[in-house]
Structure 1
Amino acid sequence: METFRLFGDLRLEDPADFLTIDRQLELANTMPLIEALEISWRLEEAFERFQKEELAAWEEHHVRRSIHFLIRPAGQLNARVACHLYNPTFYTADPYNRTIEDISNCSIQQVVKAGFSSDDCFLFDHLARRDLSHYCDRFYPPKIREIHENFMLEMRDNMEAKVEVCWGARVENRMRQILKLRSFPLWGRRYKDVKLFLEMTNDEATVKRFILFVRHPASYLYFSSSPDNRERQAQICRQQDSLLSVAASLGQIQIPAHFYESSPLVFTKPPLSQVQLKIRRDMEARAREELASVAGSKAALFFLKEGHGRIPLDADIESDEANISPMIHSIGAEDRGEEDDEELRMARQEAIVTFKERLNSIMARFTECHPRLQIEHQSINILLDTLECSDLNGIDSWNELPGDLVKLFEDQDGLKIRQRAISSREGLERAYQLLHCQGSPEYLSLVGLSCTVLFAYLFKIARPRKKKIDHLVILRKPPFNNVSRKCHNCGQDVLDDVYPWYAKRDPELYVYWRAFKTCGNPGCKLEVVRLMPINPRLKTLHPCEKNLLEKRFARAKWEKFFIRSELNSADQPDEIELKCTGGCGCRTKINRPRWTVHEPAKLVETRLKCGTCKKMRTWLPLSEGYQTIADSSLQRLWAKFQKEGCQLGDYPRRPDIWFANHRISTRILFLKDAKKDEMVKADNAAQ
C-alpha cells in the first residue's frame, strides 16, 4: 500500500520495506529539504496537529477536555486584513459550532457588522478553546498556553494579511510582549490621534505588517444613555471608528462609515433562549470542574465558590448590623441635638441611597434576568457569581470598562487613597484587600472585581457606628469631611474616610476606626489595628463610650508652654472663620482655635485638605488683624531647646525670652539669669 507521500500527490510504498538502513537515514535527512518545496502551508493539517497536541497536553494533567470546543479560524489565508481575537466563549446559540465566525456570539456579531467578516478578512483566536476568558488567563498550564500560542503564531507566519486588527486588551498586552513593535503615529486633522504599530522582523530590518489595537467589542454592549457619560462615549466611538477606518484603507476593504459613532447605544446581545442559557451555564460549570484539578488548591476554592469574592460582614469593630436596606432608611432618624450634624447625616443618607441606585442601574444592564437589587449579603454574592460567567469577562482593561462604571468609581472619595482615584486593576485589587473581601482578587474578572469592590464599599459606608457611641459622635462640614488614613501597625496607607466621625464633646477630636484581621495591606500582621489619620495635626480619640463622655486629651509637651490654656484664652474668640490660601475662595470655621502665649497672642495656623482645590493648604483668618504662626515653627523652636538640653519647665515662664530674636544659646543664658533673679527675689522675701 502506497502510504508514504513524497511530494504533491506522489505516494510510494513504505521505505522501510525497500531501502537499506543507510538509504533510510539519507532519506530522513533529505525529506525536510523536499518538504520545504511545498508552495503553501495547509491550515487544516496544522489545525489537526494542534488539536492532537492540545488534547494530549490536557491528558498529561489528567484532564479530558472536549475536542468540540476547539474552534477553527475563518476566512482565507490570502485575505488582506486579519482580525485577532482572544478566545471563544460559551455565549452562543450552539456551543458545538466550531467556527470562529458565529454571529450568535455578541462580540463576533459586532465585529462582522463593523465590516470585518470572513468575506474580506482572516479571523482567528489567540487561544482557540471555548472557555471563560479570565479562566484562560489565570488557570491554563504554561505548556497548554504555549501550544495555543504556537498555533496562533504559525497562522500569523503563513497568512498574507499585511494589516492585523487586535481586539481587546488581552490580545494587545500579549502581542506587545512577544512581537517587535515600532510605534507609528499618523498625522493630519483626520488621523492625528491614531497610532499604528509596525511589526518588525527579529533583526528589525524589515516590516512584516501593520498592527492596530482596538477596544474589545464587549465594552460597547454596556454603554449608558446618561448625559454624564455621553461625551466620553462619543470620544471612544470616534477613536474606534478612526482606527477601523485606517485598517480598512490599509487593507483595501470596504466597511460601514462611522459605525460606532452612528449607533453607540444600539449594540445588543443576540438573545439566547432559556434552553440555550441553561446549556451555557452547564457547560461553564463543567469547564470550571475541569480546570479546578489543574489550577492548584488555592484556585480550586474559587471554582468551588468557597469564599473568593465574598463581601465581609465583620471587617470592623465599631459598626452594627448586616442588612443594608434597613440601615439606609434608619440613618439620621434620631434627634441628634446638633443642627449641623443632623443635616450632614441626612446628606450622608441621600448620598448612600444615590450610590445604591447608580450601582443598581449598572447591574441591571450587566446581568440577564436581573431583579431589583435588595442589597442583601447573600443575594449580592449570588449576583456576583453570575456576573463572573457573563460575556463581560472579555474586558480586561480599565479603559474598556463602561463609562458609567468608571465614573461611579471616580465619584467615590471613600474609594480613594490620599484623594487618588482607582485607575487600574492593581488599584482595584488593593481596594479589594483593604475592604477585607475574602480570597484572592487575582481569580476574578475585571468587571467581577470592580462590582465586588463597589458592593463591599456600599456595605462599608452604610453601616453606622455602634449604638452605644452613635449619639456621642458627629459629622462635620468641609474641609473636615474627608480624612486620609494609614494603619498604625504597618504604616501603609488605607482607604480615605469619606464620612469621618468626630467627638460631639470636642469636634476637634477625630474618632478613628479599628479593623479586624489586619488593615488589609500585605505584611500587616496584627489581628486588630487602628486606622489613623495621616495628618499628624489631627487629634484622635479611641472609639469607646468612656472616652467620648470624658473630656480628656493629652497635649504635646510643647503645647503646655507655647499654647494658651482655655482659661488664658478667655479674651480670644472661641470661633474663627478661615479661608483657603489656594485662591479658590473656600471658607470654613473652626471651634476653639489655638492661641500662643505671645503678647499679643498669635493664632496657630491650621492645615486642612481643601474640598475645592483638593490639596493640603494653610488656612488663614478671613478677618485682618490677627497675627499667625505655623504649628511647625513652634515644634522647631521646642526641638531647638531640647537639642541644647534646656528643659523649659526648669525655668520661669518667660514667653518674651522664648520668642526673643536671639540665638537659642543666648535665650538659654537669659533664662538662667531669670532663674537666678527669681531665686534672689525668693531669698530676699524669705529674709
Structure 2
Amino acid sequence: MPGQEEFRLFGDLWLPDPEQALSSQELVHVRAILPQIRAFETNWMNHTKYSYTRSGWSLNEAYEEFRDRECNWWEARGVTRPRQYMVCPSGELNASVACHLFNPTFSVDDPCCGETEDLSNPSISQLNNAEFSTQNNCLIFDHLARRDASKHCATTYPDDLLDLHEQFVFALRDAMNAKIEICWGANVRERMFKKIHLQPFRLWGEFAGVVLYMEITQNRLKRFVIFVAHPQRFLYVKSNREKARAWRHRFGISQDQALTVAARLGGIQIPPNFYVLDPRLARNLCVPRTVSDQRSIWRGQAVAQLKKAFPAVDLSASTDRPHHIRPTKEDKSSVQSVFTLLAKVKPGKINESVNLPQIVDDTALRNLRLQKIANYWNDLGELLDAFISNPNVGTYSGSAPREEGLPDPFIEFIQAQDGLKFNKREISCRADLKIAFELLQKCQGTPETLDILTLAVSVLTAYGWMISRPRKPQVDNLLILRGYPNNTVARKCSGCRKEYLDDPFAYWAKSRPNCYVLCGKIKHLPCTRKDLEEKRLDQFDKWFLLRPEELGDLPPEVEVSCRNCQETRLVEARWTDIYFNNNLSINGRIAALIEAQRLIEADNIIKENGLDQD
C-alpha cells in the first residue's frame, strides 16, 4: 500500500507528494503538467480517442500493403530482396505497453520467421525473460521491418526508404493503445527525437534521475515514452562473479528503474531488479558452427543486395565477422616463462621503490616486471571470466552483436595500463582503441568490423603478449631497467611523427643509462622503395580489382595528396571488390558472390527481354 504522503501520478506509479518533495520551481512545472496527465488517463480509461477499435486501422492489411511497397522500392533499384525477410509486429494493438526496437537482424534460427517476438534472437529472449512479452500485455515492434545489419540500416538506407518504413511504424503508433512506449537503444532514440515532439518530465523520490517523456500532439498528451539501453548492452554478462556483479549494479540500476516506471505506468508485473540480480540475464551466446555458418550466408546475401542497390556505398566498415585471437608458440612460451621465473623469486626481493641513478644491479626491477606481468594476466583472466563465456585468455573468439558501449571495468582496466597510453594520455574512445589495435602487430583483422568488446579484448590480449616477450639473450645482459620516472617512455614514429604506444617496461643501455634502447634486433629495418617496387602484384589484379565494365559511376582517376608537403596529383584509381576485403567469413563471401552473380544474371535477362520486345 502506498504511504499517506504519496500520490499516484498515473496507473500504478506512486511518488512522494510533490508538495513536500519538490522545490517551488519544480512544483510549478509539475502543477502545469498534471492536468494533461489526468486528461490522458481519463481518455485512456474510457477507450475513446485512442482506442484501436475505433481507428478503423487493420494491422494485417496495413502490413501487407507496406510490405508490397517496400519490395517494390528495391525492385525499382534493380534488386529483388526476399519478401519473407520482412518482420511483422507481435502482440495486440490494445496492449498497454509497447516495446519499440530498431530492426530485425540475422541472429535468429529462421530468417523467414515473420514475427518480431522470435525467442531465438538473444535480444528478444532477454526482453522475454524480463517479462516484456506479448503474454504480458506488450506490443513488440521494430522501427525498420527488414532484416539487415543494424549498422547498414542506420548508415545506408536513404531518406525515402526510411520514410517508407516510418510511414508504417507511425501509423502503427497512432493505432496502438499503449499508455507507455519503451524505446530500446540509441538508434530508436535518434529517430524518435527527429520525428516527434517529446517533452521531458523528471521524476523524483525513489525514481529520481529517471526522465519520462511525454509525446504531445495538438497540446494534448498522447503517450508516455521512456528510453532505455538496448538489450545488447547486457548480453556480455556471462557470469555472477565479483566484477560482473559490480558492472550489473552500476549499469543495471538505471535500466531497472526505468523499466519499473514503464511497468507501473502500463499496469503490468515484471520481476524486480532483473538487470541487477536476475540470474537469467547471463546467457551463453555461443551457437553451433553450422548455425554460425548459415547466418554468415544470410548476411553475405544481404551485403550483395545492398551493394547492388547502393554501388557507391562502402559496406565493409559495418560487416560483422567472427574474430579469432590466437597466440604463437613463442607468445605462449613467453607468458609461461614469466610465471616460471616469478616462482623462483624469493619473498622480499620485489621492491617497487627501487631506482637506478647509476649502473647497478637491476634484479629487483626485473622481478617487479615479472610480478606486474603475472598480475596483468590474472586480472585479465578475471575480467574475461566476468564478461566472456568460457574464457580462455589468449584464445578468445568473438562473434558478438554490436553494442552501444564498452563495459566500465574494461575501460578502467585499459586505462590502468602504462603501455596502453599515448604520451601518458589514456585511451578514451573507439578511435584510440583502433590505433592501439593497429600498432600491436599481433592483432589480426580489420578493427572497423569488430564490435567494441572484441576490439578491446584483441588489444588487451595482444598487449599482454607484447609485454611478456623477453629481450633476446644476446642483448639482454647489455640492458637495464630503471625506476620511476624512467620506467616508461613516450614514443613517436620516426617517419610520420605520429604518437606511438608508450613503452611500459623501458630498457636502457647498461653502459649509457640515459640511452633508451628501442629494439634488440638489428635486422628490424624498414624495407626500401626498391624492395616494394620489385614485388609482383599485377598477377592478383583480376581477383582483387574491379573490371572496367564494373566501375559504374566510380571515377577512373582520383586526386591524392602527400601527408607531408600537401602536394596533390591525379593517379589511376584501382577500385577493390568488396567481396575480397576479408570482412565477411568465407561462407559469407561465397554467399555474397553467388547473390551478386544472381543479380547480374537477372539484369541480363531483363535487358534481353527488353530487346526482344523492341
Normalised TM-score (structure 1): 0.56
Unaligned segments of structure 2, at least 5 residues: 1-53, 345-359, 528-560, 565-614
Could you tell me which residue of structure 2 aligns to residue 212 of structure 1? 226
**Alignment partner of 1:252 is 2:267:** yes
Q: Which moved more, 1:331-340 or 1:232-241?
A: 331-340
Which AA in structure 2 matches 1:221? L
Q: Deviations over 1:644-672 (max 9, x none)?
A: xxxxxxxxxxxxxxxxxxxxxxxxxxxxx
CA offset at residue 98 of structure 1? 0.8
**Alignment partner of 1:198 is 2:214:** yes
**Alignment partner of 1:326 is 2:333:** yes
Which AA in structure 2 matches 1:414? G
Q: Deviations over 1:370-411 (max 9, x none)?
A: 684654xxxx7xx34xx1xx4x32x2x22xx44554444343
CA offset at residue 247 of structure 1? 0.7
Q: Deviations over 1:35-91 (max 9, x none)?
A: xxx942332233223222322333344433211111100122333321111222333
CA offset at residue 269 of structure 1? 5.2
**Alignment partner of 1:126 is 2:131:** no
Q: Deviations over 1:423-450 (max 9, x none)?
A: 4434434444554767864443333433
Say which SS state the counterpart of residue 329 (structure 1) adopts. Answer: helix
Q: 2:176 aligns with which of 124, 135, 159?
A: 159
Counterpart-to-counterpart distance in 2, 1:352 and 1:165? 41
Counterpart-to-counterpart distance in 2, 1:463 and 1:524? 36
CA offset at residue 349 of structure 1? 3.8
Could you tell me which residue of structure 2 aligns to residue 172 of structure 1? 189
1:118–1:465: structure 2 CA closer, same or farther, 3 Å change rule?
Answer: same
Aligned residues: 454
Counterpart-to-counterpart distance in 2, 1:449 and 1:294? 30
Could you tell me which residue of structure 1 aligns to residue 507 of structure 2? 501
Could you tell me which residue of structure 1 aligns to residue 367 of structure 2? 343
**Alignment partner of 1:239 is 2:254:** yes
8 Å CA contact 2:369, 2:505 repeated in 1: no
Could you tell me which residue of structure 2 aligns to residue 71 of structure 1? 87
Counterpart-to-counterpart distance in 2, 1:219 and 1:82? 20
Could you tell me which residue of structure 2 aligns to residue 553 of structure 1? none
Q: Deviations over 1:13-44 (max 9, x none)?
A: xxxxxxxxxxxxxxxxxxxxxxxxx9423322
8 Å CA contact 2:436, 2:459 repeated in 1: yes
Q: 1:99 aligns with which of 115, 119, 143?
A: 115
1:159–1:227: structure 2 CA closer, same or farther, 3 Å change rule?
Answer: same
CA offset at residue 470 of structure 1? 4.3
1:483–1:298: structure 2 CA closer, same or farther, 3 Å change rule?
Answer: farther
Which AA in structure 2 matches 1:167? W
Counterpart-to-counterpart distance in 1, 2:433 and 2:192? 24
Could you tell me which residue of structure 2 aligns to residue 85 of structure 1? 101
CA offset at residue 108 of structure 1? 1.2
8 Å CA contact 1:89, 1:132 repeated in 2: yes
Q: 1:412 aligns with which of 411, 417, 420?
A: 417
1:68–1:515: structure 2 CA closer, same or farther, 3 Å change rule?
Answer: farther
Counterpart-to-counterpart distance in 2, 1:323 and 1:61? 53
1:121–1:142: structure 2 CA closer, same or farther, 3 Å change rule?
Answer: same
8 Å CA contact 1:134, 1:444 repeated in 2: no
Question: 1:261-280 alignment to 2 at 5 Å?
Answer: 261-264=276-279, 266-268=281-283, 276=291, 279-280=294-295
Counterpart-to-counterpart distance in 2, 1:323 and 1:494? 24
Counterpart-to-counterpart distance in 2, 1:360 and 1:516? 36
CA offset at residue 191 of structure 1? 0.9
1:358–1:258: structure 2 CA closer, same or farther, 3 Å change rule?
Answer: closer
Which AA in structure 1 matches 2:175? N
CA offset at residue 94 of structure 1? 3.3
1:480–1:355: structure 2 CA closer, same or farther, 3 Å change rule?
Answer: farther
Say which SS state the counterpart of residue 181 (structure 2) adopts. Answer: strand
Q: Percent identity?
A: 36
CA offset at residue 250 of structure 1? 1.8
In our comparison, the structure showing a higher alpha carbon Rg is 1
1:192–1:272: structure 2 CA closer, same or farther, 3 Å change rule?
Answer: same
Counterpart-to-counterpart distance in 2, 1:178 and 1:497? 49
Which AA in structure 2 matches 1:103? L
Counterpart-to-counterpart distance in 1, 2:312 and 2:469? 34
1:270–1:178: structure 2 CA closer, same or farther, 3 Å change rule?
Answer: same
Counterpart-to-counterpart distance in 2, 1:51 and 1:153? 15
CA offset at residue 114 of structure 1? 1.8
Quick one: higher RCO (CA 8 Å, sep 6+), 1 or 2? 2
Say which SS state the counterpart of residue 131 (structure 1) adopts. Answer: coil
**Alignment partner of 1:447 is 2:453:** yes
Counterpart-to-counterpart distance in 2, 1:69 and 1:250? 34
Say which SS state the counterpart of residue 413 (structure 1) adopts. Answer: coil
Counterpart-to-counterpart distance in 2, 1:154 and 1:49? 12
Could you tell me which residue of structure 2 aligns to residue 650 of structure 1? none
Could you tell me which residue of structure 2 aligns to residue 108 of structure 1? 124
8 Å CA contact 1:165, 1:247 repeated in 2: yes
1:146–1:330: structure 2 CA closer, same or farther, 3 Å change rule?
Answer: farther
CA offset at residue 128 of structure 1? 1.6
8 Å CA contact 1:85, 1:125 repeated in 2: yes
Say which SS state the counterpart of residue 261 (structure 1) adopts. Answer: helix
8 Å CA contact 1:490, 1:524 repeated in 2: no
8 Å CA contact 2:108, 2:120 repeated in 1: yes
Unaligned segments of structure 1, at least 5 residues: 1-37, 314-320, 518-522, 527-687
Q: 1:186 aligns with which of 203, 217, 220?
A: 203
1:81–1:453: structure 2 CA closer, same or farther, 3 Å change rule?
Answer: same
Counterpart-to-counterpart distance in 2, 1:468 and 1:477? 23
**Alignment partner of 1:51 is 2:56:** no
Q: Deviations over 1:113-135 (max 9, x none)?
A: 32222241221112222233334
Counterpart-to-counterpart distance in 2, 1:305 and 1:251? 36
Normalised TM-score (structure 2): 0.62
1:303–1:200: structure 2 CA closer, same or farther, 3 Å change rule?
Answer: closer
8 Å CA contact 2:362, 2:482 repeated in 1: no
1:144–1:358: structure 2 CA closer, same or farther, 3 Å change rule?
Answer: farther
Counterpart-to-counterpart distance in 2, 1:456 and 1:174? 38
CA offset at residue 274 of structure 1? 6.9
Q: Which has the higher helix share?
A: 2
Counterpart-to-counterpart distance in 2, 1:239 and 1:150? 32
Question: 1:243-642 alignment to 2 at 5 Å?
Answer: 243-264=258-279, 266-268=281-283, 276=291, 279-293=294-308, 299=314, 323-330=330-337, 338-351=362-375, 353-354=377-378, 357-358=381-382, 361=385, 364-365=388-389, 372=392, 375=395, 383-384=397-398, 387=399, 390=400, 392-393=401-402, 395=403, 397-398=404-405, 401-435=406-440, 441-464=447-470, 469-487=475-493, 492-512=498-518, 525=563
Say which SS state the counterpart of residue 223 (structure 2) adopts. Answer: strand
Which AA in structure 2 matches 1:247? A
CA offset at residue 244 of structure 1? 0.8
CA offset at residue 186 of structure 1? 1.2
Aligned-residue CA RMSD (Å) = 4.2
